[in-house]
Amino acid sequence: MEKTNQSEGSEFIILGLCDSWELQVFFLLIFSSLYLTTILGNIFIVVIIIIDLRLHSPMYFLLANLSFIDFCLSSVTTPKMIIDFLKEKKTISFGGCMCQIFFGHFFGGGEMVLLVSMAYDRYVAICKPLHYSSIMNRHMCIGLVVASWIIGFVHSISQLVIIVNLPFCGSRVLDSFFCDIPLVIKLACLDIYVLEILINADSGVLAAVCFILLLMSYSHILTTVCLHSKDGASKALSTCTAHIIVVVLFFGPCIFIYLWPVSITWVDKFLAVFYAVITPLLNPAIYTLRNKEIKNAMKRLNTKYLKIIREYADLIK
């Protein structure tokens, strides 16, 4: 009990990405710009899908939820990292550390399941087009989204329960820019071998299972379409390429961090930055640049507001 209270009242020291002040100023400008772009890009996708009636379909409903999760996921660690670039001594409270762990795994786990849901949507659309409307109905779409949030929550709670009551003593230095379980448990005052296996199994198995399901889904899509159409491969690739790129970019760092047996500090930091900062930025960019319907919706929105501005200008005259 005494050790637990000591843990809850302590702070963790964060070493950040580097020691150089010049590099930290450079990173401050870069990551502030990236974070602002991420927030605006994901909010834009959510808004345009809501206001454009032509985008009210299962695929875009799931895409809007993906953008919302990316907005949340990028806000778990990036604002703290940006503020820390201005500080000489970077610390985080025990409660703040636990919150980063909880919400990071909550939104991360939810996104994994949501990506599987999006793959299932594409599978039904391409492999069972005649049954698409009946299978991917409103209840199914809402159920898939709710399931992603529930699984993300259960996954996050299961991680937090393991770590929240650990006694911490001695050094409380984290060689990273945020709190993550593999780093935090190494500071515990007990043998962590079994805990590491449990935690890596929890996160690693969830990531690996979702990734395998995604590979199976997209492989089946490509195989099915190629067998039924001469130019099926190009059509399937055109439809699924954006999804596949996002899947690889999201799951690659996760699987490497939790399943790779050797920990290399600079590699872990790079993958953590890629996962927390770059991936939520790339998702809206990939879906916007590669999706004709999103681009057409942007043109319609632009035309609509230009018309409103012209009418307003005419009224003023």
pTM of the model: 0.85
Query: Quick one: 244 exposed, middle or buried, by C-beta within 10 A (0-12, 13-18, 19+)?
Result: middle
Q: If you compute the radius of gyration of the chain from its CA atoms, what whole number of angstroms results? A: 22
Looking at the chain, the whole-number percentage of residues with pLDDT higher than 90 is 29
Q: What is the spatial distance between Cα 273 and Cα 74, in angstroms, rounded to a whole number?
A: 10
Give the pair of three-digit tokens for residue 150: 């529930």
Average pLDDT score, the chain = 82
Q: Is the dihedral of CA 147, 149, 152, 158 positive or negative?
A: negative
List the 91-93 sheet strands across, edge first. Answer: 91-93, 11-14, 173-174
The amino acid at 127: C
Would you call 52 helix, strand, or coil by DSSP? Answer: coil
| Structure confidence by residue, pLDDT tens digits, 24-33 | 899 999 999 9
| Structure confidence by residue, pLDDT tens digits, 257-269 | 666 655 666 677 8
